[in-house]
Chains A and B, each alone.
Chain A
Amino acid sequence: MNTNTSSKEFTWKLLKANLLFLLKYGLMYANNPNQRTVLMMIIKKLMSNLSFLFNNINESGSQSEPIPNTIDTWNNPINTIIFLFSQYPNNVPNWDMVASSNQINEIFRYAIDSNIPYDQLLNFVRSSPIYNELLLTFTEIIVEDLLKLQAKRHAVTKIHKIVHEHLYITTTALIVSNLSSQQMITDDTIFASINAWINYISSIRHISSDGTMDLTEIFQKLLDLMYHSSEHTDKYLIAEKVLTIFANVFANDPLLMSFPLREQVEALFLGISRSGNGDIAQNKWMLQYMNYLVTNEMTSELKDLTVCIVDFLQINTLDVCNKLFTTISTDKFSESVSEQYIKVLLQMTNFPLVPVLQEFFSVRMVDFWLELAECYSTLSNDTLKSNANEISTDIFQQVINIYLPKISLLNEQKILQEDNDSSSLHEFDDFRKAVADLTQTLWMILGHANLTNVLIIGIGSADASTSDNIGNLYQIESMSYLLGVLLADGSDSVSPWICNVLKQNSFTIENNLLLFRHSMTKLNTNINTLDSTLSLTFARTSCALIGRLAGYFTSEPAKLSTCLEALFQGLETCTVTSGSPINGKLETIIVKTIVQLCETCRQQLSSFLEHFFNVLMSVMRPNSNVSNFTRSNLVKSVGYIIQCRVENGAQEQGKYILQLIDMIGSLIENNLNSPVLPSEQQYDYMHCLLDCILELGSSMLQSDDSENTQLLQRLPEFQQFWQNDPFYIRNKIMAMIEKALAAPEFNNRSGIIEVSCLILGRTLTVPDDEPHFLRYSMQEIINFILAHIGTCELTISLPYFVYLLEKLFKHFKDILTSEDFDFLFEKIILPGYTQYISRDPDLLQTTINLLNTILDCKPSLVIFSKHWTTFIFPELLKLLSAKERFTTIAVGKFWTKVINNKKYTQQDLQVSRQQIGAIGQDLVYQTMNGLYHTQRSDLNCYTDLIRTLVAKFPMDCKGWLIVALPQVCNKPEIHERFINKLLVTRGNRAASSVILNWWLECTSLPGY
């Protein structure tokens, strides 16, 4: 319905028509209740129309001079409806009569202003349940529609006052009378109406200046209704509905409920009254209700109740916190009440069923404890009670003790056994993570002494391997999980204090490893999905903790050895057969842990190098079942250990690297000489072998935090050694790469080209004085590129060769000259420019980026190039009108860097200005032409360039623009305005909007 009419006569006509038809269909429904579905659809639409009219009439306001046949205000649609139903209890006049009869018109007008006394309202709703339903539905629709209008930011200002003064009073009476008479609660209409009103009042109370509409009477009635709901009367049906309403209030706007009412709710929910005003005897009802839900396994209803209660508890968190821990409060909340209150909450958290599957109290209470802990952590020391520390430690330690068995995988096992749906499993997983978060927060209060150490003692005080009780294993898992989370929160190293506690509890590592071994034993047997899921979690927990204890192992090599042995055995177990997704996941987890240990404990693992080599020999073979991820990570792990083997000199380190490179070399050789045609698997393997060299190179870099003092002392020896490279390792690696790239089946594979370039460029980002076996000379790298640029397919290989070139230019910028640039440009870019590069936006971008990189590091290399003004400028001028965004971004940056470059020397600057001066006219034309033809989202590609031009060439720029713009489009006035405004900005930020406006005006597009 279009109610947006300025004609008041028409509005009045619409109002009458809608009222008339509502009356007609209402009576029809009262006479034929079995037609409810069809009739209510029409009735609701009519009510919605009327609610829009209710808003329009009241918001448009009254005229100073009343206009005949119109209305200016409509205070109470409910009263209007009651009046009309009373006037026409059986027959409704037809529309013609309403339109033409003055008498009927007067009746309708009177209905608008009618005032219905309370008794008449009650008599009306009691006369027919259908009238009652219609009124409840109507009042619900009105407030829902008002909220929709509010959300759409319509002008809704006066209406709330009218609702407050009239409709709210009638509706409260209507709802209270319904709630007082149980017979009238026949369906959900009353609850839907209450919910709509709560939402409405909650939403407008912050924006309305007319005060809050009080809901106390309704809430009190609801509370009474809930309390009288029972298994025998209605099987707690009413209680459920009321709790849903309360849950909505507590979750979204708890302060809608007055404090005295909340005191009652507290007593009812918890059996405790902190103020002493609540009737704690009512808690018996709650216990009976919970018992009913548990006995009948009504998990979903129990969950709803949990959400409601915990949301309620969270209203008071700050207050509870203050009263528990501070001296701020002086009211009746005595020590004993506070202890009792917390005891109830702890009992609730420790609800004796399986979390997620059967109960949600423990799950939802995580939020409460988290909030309480955070509140406590932010309290000022001045306000704390003298024993606040003891109280908090006591409470939060109990919380941890409750949650440890709750997050046990025994419960996950039960969920897996009972529930086929994975959502419960996911919920349990989330629950564990939430408890982990809580534990991290509680650490702020409990510290190592009362949390970390307690967990370590719990895991490692006794040898669990001697116990037959499988439950112990699950307990260890829970504690290891939380300990792992706590240790992950800190730095990489484990504090000496923790190390001492670990040493004192000598079974910590062994017991944690039991989890891992248990998992592997399960995998060795033929297990089902349930077992495999649990096994994976066991292994994940164990490995996470081992990894996080890496810092501790630096002082406990024996424990480190035990862990590594177990991990390698595990790796063997899960790679005996391939293909199982669980095995694949385990393999990844194990390998990542090994890498973590090797990186941190490289020094301590020095003596294990031979063992590692043996493992490597086995896993690197192509027929080994391990993944390529494992291969390259194991090589990296070995690399870490070799990196710190410096005590016996560079020769020994070199030998280890040689041993590895020889092994990889022979595998590459075998792969290349394989009689069968290379499959995708072989390609992957070849890629992996080259990647292993790259990983080895990365692991040999000095890490910032692991300064090797021995290496520093012998630095010249190592530098000399790798400069001479007596084992010809660089040559050997180069030969491997050459062979791989010479093979036609590999030389057009981007992965092989990429990894080859990465190996060659590995040390180009490393300081020159750092010794490294991959330090290729500039000439070697150039030769490599030149040798392969012609043999590898240019469209595939160019980006990788250019990346390498970019690194080369950056690293060797001091010794390279513009002649070198010319040579490389002629050999690498020019031969394929016309045929390939100019036709491919990606390759164009790659090429432009190379120039940009050089402009960033040493511009003289390009600005003195013989190709600069003869080839590069003309080509890049053309590209200013390119359609590809990638190209225009790169080319925009190029010209900006050419015009304004902080790396220019005085001589560079002088030459550059002359160069720009010579092409300025063309540059401005191409830029403005490109800008004119681009789309709005790409305007930024040109904005910076134009700003730079204006800033650096203000005088010339004006002339260039005057000449260029008429060639772009014929809009002289717009151009003149643009030039004037642009030059005033001198290229500052305001220029961007000037450019945007010019573009909008020239293209005749609207701005927004």
Chain B
Amino acid sequence: MSSLCLQRLQEERKKWRKDHPFGFFAKPTKKTDGTMNLQKWEAGIPGKEGTLWAEGVYPITIEYPNEYPSKPPKVKLPAGFYHPNVYPSGTICLSILNEEQDWRPAITLKQICLGIQDLLDSPNPNSPAQEPAWRSFSKNKVEYEKKVALQAKQYAK
């Protein structure tokens, strides 16, 4: 890991501990020897209150490349996660996480987490990443909402 990457990740961690939105959690994972792995984080995104997603806290993994912050982290929900903008592998399709789109080195972990929370209830129909959820979202809202509600129970707080 480059020193820039390490320094920035330490800063991100400090910032997050001091100020993060309610209901979210984010922490570096541990390596097998018990030491902290700053390049791979686990985090939880609570569904927004008043939405179908509210009941759950959705686990994500955040992997920072060596080139971070020049390159964005790779953020994944569990494989098979039901959402129009989440690939079957769980990779999240969000412009601020795309190097060729809106990623900027100044984007913080907090902004990423809030961006994902927003995306949950406001899918982007122009960036479909999986067929089942995208199809239901665009053609059968009732079915879509039922599945989202069921998924929320699976990830209930």
Inter-chain contact B55/A585, CB cutoff 8 Å: yes
Whether a CB of chain B sits under 8 angstroms from the CB of A983 is no
Bound complex: CA of A540 vs CA of B139, how far in Å? 37
Measured between C-beta atoms, what is the minimum distance from B118 to chain A in Å? 19
Q: Which of A49-57, A183-191, A409-417, A427-435 contacts B (4 or more CB under 8 A)?
A: A427-435
**Chain B interface residue number, banded:** 20 to 34
> Which residues from B are CB-within-8-Å of A394?
none
Q: How far is the CA of A849 from the CA of B130 in the complex (A)?
A: 12
Contacts of A540 in B (CB 8 A): 157
Query: A592 in the interface, Cβ–Cβ < 8 Å?
Result: yes
Interface residue B121 (Cβ < 8 Å from any Cβ of A): no
Contact among A377, A588, A842, A886 with B35 in the assembled complex (CB-CB below 8 Å): A377
Interface centre among B17, B27, B34, B35 (most CB of A within 10 A): B17
Q: Quick one: CB contact mask for B54-73 with A, threshold 8 Å, 1 for yes?
A: 01000000000000000000
CB neighbours (8 Å) of A437 from chain B are 27
C-alpha gap A433/B16 in the complex (Å): 13
Tell me whether B18 and A367 are in contact (CB under 8 A). Answer: yes
C-alpha spacing A592/B56, complex, angstroms:
13
Contact status B23-A426, CB under 8 Å: yes
Segment 733-758 of A: residues with Cβ below 8 Å from B = 749-751
Shortest Cβ distance from A762 into chain B, in angstroms?
15
Say whether A750 contacts B140, CB under 8 Å. yes
Q: Which residues of B contact A749 (CB under 8 A)?
A: 143
How distant is the Cα of A585 from the Cα of B153 in the complex, in angstroms? 9
Report chain A residues within 8 Å CB of B135.
799, 842
Query: A367, B22: Cβ atoms under 8 Å?
Result: no
- Is B36 within 8 A of A750, CB to CB? no
User: Which of B22, B35, B132, B150 touches A430 (beta carbons < 8 Å)?
Assistant: B22
B156 contacts the other chain (CB 8 A)? yes
**Cα A627 to Cα B27 with chains together (Å):** 34
Give the interface residue-count category, chain A.
35 or more
- Contact mask for chain B residues 17-40; partner A; CB cutoff 8 A; 1 contact, 0 none: 110101101010000001110000
| A846: interface (CB < 8 Å) | yes
- Evaluate whether A444 and B22 lie within 8 angstroms (CB atoms) in the complex, with A589-B156, A751-B146, A846-B131 already known: no
Report A-chain residues with C-beta under 8 Å of the C-beta of B146. Answer: 684, 751
- List CB contacts (< 8 Å) of B45-91 with chain A: 55
**Nearest B residue to A307 by beta-carbon distance?**
B18
Tell me, yes or no, whether A629 is within 8 Å of chain B by CB: yes
Contact for A886 among B27, B34, B128, B136, CB less than 8 A: B128
**Nearest A residue to B150, CB-CB:** A629
Interface presence of A59 (CB below 8 A): no
Q: Is the CB of B131 within 8 A of A842?
A: yes
The B-contacting residues of A in range 502-561, CB under 8 angstroms, are: 540
A418 to B2, CA, bound (A): 49
Find A629's partner among B18, B22, B131, B153 (CB 8 Å cutoff). Answer: B153
| A704-758 with Cβ < 8 A to chain B | 749-751
Shortest Cβ distance from residue A321 to the other chain B in the assembled complex, whole angstroms: 16
CB distance from B59 to the nearest CB of A (A): 12
Distance in Å: Cβ of B91 to nearest Cβ of chain A: 15
C-alpha spacing A437/B44, complex, angstroms = 14
Cα distance, A333 to B129, chains bound together (Å): 59
CA distance A545 to B17 in the complex (A): 25
State which of B17, B136, B140 has its C-beta within 8 Å of the C-beta of A367. Answer: B17
Given contact pairs A429-B22, A592-B156, A845-B131, A750 touches B17 in the complex (Cβ within 8 A):
no
Which chain B residues border A796 with CB–CB below 8 Å?
140
Bound complex: CA A540 to CA B23 (Å): 15
B residues near A592, Cβ cutoff 8 Å: 156
- What residues on A are CB-neighbors of B142 within 8 Å? 680
A374: min CB distance to chain B, Å: 7
On whether the beta carbons of B34 and A426 are closer than 8 Å, the reply is no
* Inter-chain contacts of A842 with B (CB < 8 A): 131, 135, 139
Nearest Cβ on chain B to A801's Cβ, whole angstroms: 14
Please determine whether A588 and B140 come into contact, CB atoms closer than 8 angstroms: no
- CB of A870 within 8 A of chain B? no
A907 at the interface (CB under 8 A from B): no
Contacting pair B156 A585 (CB below 8 A):
yes
Query: A378 at the A/B interface (Cβ < 8 Å)?
Result: yes
On whether the beta carbons of B156 and A433 are closer than 8 Å, the reply is no
* With A437-B27, A799-B135 as contacts: A444 and B34 at CB distance below 8 Å: yes
Interface flags, A246-265, vs B, CB<8A=1, else 0: 00000100000000000000
Given contacts A585-B156, A751-B146, 14 further A-B contacts (CB under 8 A): A378-B35, A423-B22, A434-B17, A540-B157, A589-B156, A684-B146, A749-B143, A750-B140, A750-B143, A751-B143, A799-B131, A799-B132, A842-B131, A846-B131
| The 4 nearest A-B residue pairs measured at CB | A426-B22, A588-B156, A629-B153, A588-B153
